[in-house]
Structures are given as C-alpha cells and as structure tokens.
Amino acid sequence: MSAACIDNHILIWGIRKEATPGQESMILRAELFLEFLAAQKTRIMVPAVVLGEFLVKVPADKHLDVQTVFQKRFQVVPYDNLAASLAARIQQEHRGGASHSNTSRDVLKADIQILATAVTRKAAVLYTHDEDLTKLASRYLRVSQMPEGLAKQQPLL
C-alpha cells in the first residue's frame, strides 16, 4: 500500500470546506481527491505538525473531536527523533541554498518538519499547493499538487 502525505491547504479545503476568494473550486477538488485516495487504498499521512496547523482555527473545546476524526480517517504521524534529525540536516543544507520567498522562520521550520516527517515515514508523494514547500521538498521526494479532473463516482445502478 502506498502512502501519500498531505499538507494543510488540502485539509482546509477538503475537511473544513473553506477557501479564500477565487479558490472556491478547490473545496470540491480536495473532497474528491481525498475520496479518490481512500478508494485507492492509499495510506493518507497527516504529519502532527499539519494537524497542529489545522487546529489553530478550531476552538479549543473542539480539538479532541477533530483529532478523533483525523485519527479515524488518516494516519496522523508524529514528528519524532528520526524526523528531527533529518529536519536538522535539511535546515543545515537549506542555509546555504535559496531561501523561501517572503516566508517567516516559523513557516520554514514547519515546512521542514512536515518534509522530514514525510521522508522518514516513507511517503511516496507529498501533496501540497505551497510553492515554497514544493521547491524545498522536491529535492527529497516526489511532490505534486492535487490532480484535476476527478469526478464524483456515479452509482452503477
């Protein structure tokens, strides 16, 4: 069974059903994409760092409910010692390379933690719509945006 790691935007669109103006079509696209991955029996990996980002806009008294839903639907993977070691190496390598465009240190740190978690948990692909994360991650694993053109499955009868 292959594993796909997904970033926060996909969860915001597909689970929270929120989009910024002009991105409304991403809601249905993300819903269909998550359904497609589940139908393909793809292990959907959500780094705990991503779950933390998602929970920022959830009232604290609802965190446990959201965590329960995530644990049933996805594989929530921790940022562990292997990921921490890889993140440190990526950070060291990144210092000498191109920086994220207008990205804060906190966002860069979260991106590196997400990437390190995906790599150490052997994700086949990281799905993200974040350009900076895409540039950084493409040096370590396959990175892709959600595919376009997925359709709701129609019942056969």
CATH code where residue 47 lies = 3.40.50.1010
pLDDT tops 80 at residue 86:
yes
What percent of the chain stands above pLDDT 90? 80
Residue 155, domain member (yes or no): no
Position 102 scores a pLDDT of 53
For the chain, the domain total comes to: 1
Over residues 48-62, the pLDDT tens digits come to 999 999 999 999 999
**26-56 CB burial, b ≥16 within 10 A, e <16:** bbebbbbbbeebeeeebbbbbbbbbbebbee
Residue 67, domain member (yes or no): yes
Position 155 scores a pLDDT of 44
The residue range of the domain holding 103 is: 3-144
Residue 153, domain member (yes or no): no
Over residues 102-142, the pLDDT tens digits come to 556 777 899 999 999 999 999 999 999 999 999 999 999 99
Residue 151, domain member (yes or no): no
Residue 150, domain member (yes or no): no
* Contact yes or no for 118/80 (Cβ under 8 A): no
* Contact yes or no for 49/81 (Cβ under 8 A): no
Band (156; pLDDT cuts 50, 70, 90): very low
Question: For 7-150, where are the alpha helices, taking DSSP H only?
Answer: 8-11, 25-39, 48-55, 63-73, 81-96, 105-120, 131-137
Helix axes 48-55, 63-73, angle to 10 degrees: 140
Residue 152, domain member (yes or no): no
Residue 157, domain member (yes or no): no
Lowest-confidence segment of 8-22, 99-113, 140-154 by average pLDDT: 99-113
Structure tokens, 65: 């409910």
Band (157; pLDDT cuts 50, 70, 90): very low
Structure tokens, 57: 């806009």
